[in-house]
Amino acid sequence: MFRLITAFRPYSKYFFIAWIIIIMTVSSIPKLPTLKIETEKGIIRLDYLIHFCEYGSLAFFVFLTYAGNRFRLSLKKYLTITSGLILFALADEFHQKLIPGRAFNMKDIYSNIAGIIAGLGFCVVVFRRIRESF
């Protein structure tokens, strides 16, 4: 797994840029339907899970792009990346107010931020364990 990620790493900045373009493109689609699952107890909206996953993936690509040789981030770099991703998530959500049929939603922002924190946290924990095993 470590070899796969190491081989993938030189291309991570391209995945990072492509992922931002994908997020902005999908955010710009007017009147995008909300995915839902209807159960006996109610309706489960899948868009919050999608937001969590898309921003968790973005955090993963950013981590690979900016982490050092041994997949480490200084606290300053970690906080800068986290702040930058949160600002991007906020800008993306405010951008949707300008798109017909789209709306600003605080729950989307919460899902985005949770995905960012989970994605970066996952990277820190997993890569620390990988480093310790070598």
> Which pLDDT score, from 0 to 100, does residue 81 have?
97
> Which pLDDT score, from 0 to 100, does residue 1 have?
65
Which one, of 132, 131, 133, 127, lies nearest residue 64 by Cα? 127
C-alpha 42/C-alpha 95 separation (Å) is 30
- Mean pLDDT for 69-82 is 91
Which one, of 63, 84, 59, 61, lies nearest residue 15 by Cα? 61
Q: Give domain limits for the chain.
A: 2-25+45-133
Q: How many CA atoms lie within 13 A of 134 on its CB side?
A: 10
- pLDDT confidence band for 129 (50 / 70 / 90): confident
C-alpha 73/C-alpha 65 separation (Å) is 11
